[in-house]
Chains A and B, each alone.
Chain A
Amino acid sequence: MPTTYDVAIIGAGAVGTAIARELSRYRLEVVLLEAKADVGMGTTKANTAIWHTGFDAKPGTLEARLLRRSYALLEEFVPQAGIPTERLGGLLVAWTEEQRQTLPSLLERAHANGVIDVRIISAEEVYRFEPRLNQGAFGGLFVPGESLICPFTLPIAYATEALLNGVTLKLNFPVGDVRQEEDRHVLSGPRGQQVAARYLVNAAGLYSDEIDHMLGHHDFTVTPRRGELIVYDKFARRLINHIILPVPTPITKGVLISPTVYGNVLLGPTAEDLDDKTNTATSEHGLQTLLEKGRAILPDLLNEEVTATYAGLRAATEHKDYQIRLHAAQRYVCVGGIRSTGVSASLGIAEYVAELLAEAGLPLQAKTAFQTFRMPNIGEAGPRPYRQPERVAQNSDYGRIVCHCEKVTLGEILDAIHSPVPARTLDALRRRTRATQGRCQGFNCRAAVVDILARETGQDPRFLLALDGNDPPEPLTLTPPTHSSQEDQA
């Protein structure tokens, strides 16, 4: 067996990639293992994309604490890494007298969570904030810190910085088994490949319970809770100014209407417990439910065109809080049950997991240098290449629009294909650039995008189109560029 890593992390969602990045600050050999062909392909790519303040979390829980901590950490990280965000504020609307009466307790809860800029507003104010809202609001709670975030860029940014600072990333590498040896974990991947590490972090999302079982624990069971969403056309963006939240129930945060950083409007999610951890299909019932709710909240929304529909699975458990546990003797940290706030809490979780690993004896010696990376902007609030004369002047490919709906240029597509964590699949390219994600869903550009990707990566289009030869895909190892802080790690 080759090298024994100091730490292996299973799962490259928002949580796993954030942990990898955090550990890359230290003199450690770290490997990040992901079953899918790209990072951020699990629940991280299919959610409501809100950067939560944690105002409504249960005070005293780990979730409440890590959300708060993460908010502060993200405020620093987001501008440095160029993650698209928009601080619009959340407007929680009470639609019944009963709901209005719960507002003071929600305010109290927000204050208990340290979110102190929250305030209760009158029905008139609600309509001043959101003139197109349906009639019948009784009042609301305004949460200025609730923001939009790009859940596509975030894990790629974490993974890129992790890679640049020495982490090895293995894609198409589903861990099928974990065996304990004397002082290390031996993880079995596809095609007989194995990876060994002294410390293990389980950030496998929906599968975190199954990995936990492999280590002999039965602390929780993940029940996939499906959330379906409808994405409305960019022309719907004019209809609202804030994230419009319902009054939460113990089961779910409820159906909200929120702009996205790409300038669309989201309606969703539903909440439905399933038993299939791979069932990310939308359903007739789910979509119909959303249309009804949408009509009740913002009637004009339904006159706009639908751009996309999708579903994500929350890793719900029988417990209310995150399931983050250190098993010090095993040198193992389980990071499970990150149900509906994991994108927002990712940096807080990462910092906490590093502390737990240190507690179990992992020496955390900071490197002298940390390499940062700035992601290409795919949000509407920041500058996009097609609007930047200086970039087009430098390279005419930034003026060559391939995806008309999202105004994605050839330059951006080539950048994504040749980036440190490269786009090698259509889905990966879509999340990095938004190409084919717009209102025509590829009517105009899909053929061009397939063609460019196939050509640039030397892959057969039949493979990209899943026409043949896809299972099981070849594992792909991305290693840190040689010029990175090698001597620092020695």
Chain B
Amino acid sequence: MTTIQETDVLIVGAGPAGLSSAIALRRQGVAHVTVVDREPEPGGMPRLCHHTGFGIWDFHRLYNGPAYARRYVQQARDAGVHLRAQTTIIGWEDDLTLTYTSPAGLGALRGRAVLLATGVRERPRSARLVPGYRPRGIFTTGSLQRFVDERHLPVGRRAVIVGAEGVSLSAFLTLHKAGVQVAAFLTDLPRHQMYFPYAPAKWLFVDALHRTPIRTQVRISRILGRKRVEGVEITHLSTGQREVIACDTVVFTGDWIPEHEVARQGDLVMDPGTRGPQVDVAFRTSRPGVFAAGNLLRGAETAATSALEGRQAARQVLAFLHGQPWPAHRLPVLVEPPLLWVLPNSLAPADLHTPAKVTFRVTQFVENATVEVRQGKRLLLTQPFRHLLPNETLHLSGAWLTRVEPHGEPVVLKLSG
């Protein structure tokens, strides 16, 4: 095989998480930081989101996606990060060596530490088992954005958006810009989950968004049309009644699945809730020297959340480079429905000295709920919530971490009662 190129920290994925981490590592004096990305340009997903809303939390000003991505790429260049675009990681050669393909040839890169920041994708129609024909005109938000903003390709005339959460609004804005009328948003939940940005967006795009119905408690049960989408059949969850909405385009939004190919190829332990690699408080995966951050951990958050996470992960990578030992043993943290996932989803004994940030998601709207944390029979925490909102990341007090028995049973989060 080819010679192995050495670097101090090898980062896979040049999105906000990977780049912010690389920048922080360089600023903290790490000599050689390499970030690879399979796309022709670094910058990650924001490169493709041509609307505004990026940068408030990490740069304290508002950018559109591409400008935001450019700013990170520029900072990384200025900080002396080695950026390698169009370089796809295709496997692991040993613990900390990854192999790649690129137009310049195949090769291998070895880091003293590796950070995976490969992002997420949306589940496509097929993964959601929506029956029917396979006509043209079926998109995810990701493919839609590339059609409209990256390639300037035609989309359609009238669309149905499956989902009514933050990213669904992203899809709406992209369709609106492309001159595609939106027939409806569909959600199986009793209310939409666009939350905060819906009101300002409605105000800015008042006409179109005002006129776009949000169909709640329905699911898409069939796609009609053979060559081209001709409509979707929806089923009302409460009555079982079916109805057809005419459209030539369907956009499946949300329903995230981490882009975990490299992680799984490396046999990292995966979390059943997030479907990303299991990580502890310090972003350590089950494989010594391998960290993970950003949307790879749990599906899409805002770009800023991923970027800030990248910075935090950088501190942990640095500590590892300076000799902090890798935990030999970790305790899983699990959830029960309607909780969807929790982060961190594993705990190393060393994590248990200080409280840390704990986040989780639920799959339903729940009013006046109490979340409890248990380890076996021991109750570590109960925390009341007025509302638990789906498709929104919720914060749990982390004080209970210090009460976890490091060699005890797995920790479980669930609703009381």
Bound CA span A448–B106, Å: 23
CB-CB < 8 A to B134: which residues of A? Answer: 310
Bound CA span A190–B35, Å: 56
CB-CB < 8 A to A462: which residues of B? Answer: 154
A interface footprint on B122-134 (CB within 8 Å = 1, 0 otherwise): 1111110101111
Check A442 against B154 for contact (C-beta < 8 Å).
no
Is B150 interfacial (CB 8 A cutoff)? yes
Is A446 interfacial (CB 8 A cutoff)? yes
CB-CB < 8 A to B129: which residues of A? Answer: 230, 287, 306, 309
Given contacts A440-B121, A467-B228, contact A306 B126 (CB under 8 A): yes
Is B406 interfacial (CB 8 A cutoff)? no
Task: Determine how close the nearest CB of chain A comes to the CB of B48; give it in whole angstroms.
Answer: 10
CB-CB < 8 A to B221: which residues of A? Answer: 284
B interface footprint on A441-455 (CB within 8 Å = 1, 0 otherwise): 111101110110000
Task: Determine how close the nearest CB of chain A comes to the CB of B296; give it in whole angstroms.
Answer: 14
Bound CA span A446–B141, Å: 12
A-B contact count (CB 8 A): 130
Is B410 interfacial (CB 8 A cutoff)? no
Check A386 against B90 for contact (C-beta < 8 Å).
yes
B interface footprint on A225-248 (CB within 8 Å = 1, 0 otherwise): 000001100010000000000000
CB-CB < 8 A to A401: which residues of B? Answer: 38, 86, 88, 101
Contact of A466 among B122, B125, B227 (CB under 8 A): B227
Interface centre among A230, A235, A467 (most CB of B within 10 A): A467
Write the chain B residue with the least CB distance to A279: B133
Bound CA span A31–B265, Å: 48
Interface locus among A66-74, A314-322, A375-383, A389-397: A389-397
Total chain A interface residues with beta-carbon distance under 8 A: 50
Tell me if A's interface is mostly helix, strand, loop or mixed: mixed
Total chain B interface residues with beta-carbon distance under 8 A: 47
Check A281 against B264 for contact (C-beta < 8 Å).
no
Check B222 against A284 for contact (C-beta < 8 Å).
yes
Contact of B102 among A231, A399, A443, A451 (CB under 8 A): A399
Bound CA span A441–B140, Å: 9
Is B403 interfacial (CB 8 A cutoff)? no
Bound CA span A442–B146, Å: 10
Contact of B124 among A404, A443, A467 (CB under 8 A): A443
Check A451 against B104 for contact (C-beta < 8 Å).
no
CB-CB < 8 A to B147: which residues of A? Answer: 446-447, 450
Check A281 against B38 for contact (C-beta < 8 Å).
no
Interface centre among A392, A393, A443, A467 (most CB of B within 10 A): A443
CB-CB < 8 A to B124: which residues of A? Answer: 440-443
Is A400 interfacial (CB 8 A cutoff)? yes
Write the chain B residue with the least CB distance to A306: B127
Task: Determine how close the nearest CB of chain B comes to the CB of A457; give it in whole angstroms.
Answer: 15
Is B4 interfacial (CB 8 A cutoff)? no
Contact of B142 among A426, A443, A465 (CB under 8 A): A443
Check B151 against A400 for contact (C-beta < 8 Å).
no
Check A448 against B151 for contact (C-beta < 8 Å).
yes
Contact of B153 among A307, A440, A461, A470 (CB under 8 A): A461
Given contacts A306-B127, A307-B126, A466-B135, contact A447 B151 (CB under 8 A): yes
Write the chain A residue with the least CB distance to B132: A281
CB-CB < 8 A to A306: which residues of B? Answer: 126-127, 129
Write the chain B residue with the least CB distance to A233: B127
Is B357 interfacial (CB 8 A cutoff)? no
CB-CB < 8 A to B122: which residues of A? Answer: 443
Is B103 interfacial (CB 8 A cutoff)? yes
Given contacts A389-B106, A401-B38, contact A443 B2 (CB under 8 A): no
The chain A residues found within 8 Å of chain B, CB to CB, are 230-231, 235, 278, 280-284, 286-287, 303, 305-310, 386-387, 389, 392-393, 396-397, 399-401, 404-405, 407, 426, 439-444, 446-448, 450-451, 461-462, 464-467, 470
For this complex, 28 residue pairs linking A to B, each with C-beta atoms less than 8 Å apart, are: A231-B126, A281-B131, A284-B221, A287-B129, A305-B123, A309-B131, A310-B134, A389-B2, A389-B106, A396-B103, A399-B101, A401-B38, A401-B101, A404-B38, A407-B90, A440-B140, A441-B140, A444-B121, A447-B143, A447-B146, A451-B151, A464-B136, A465-B154, A465-B156, A466-B137, A466-B228, A467-B154, A467-B156
3 nearest A-B residue pairs (beta carbon): A441-B124, A447-B146, A396-B103
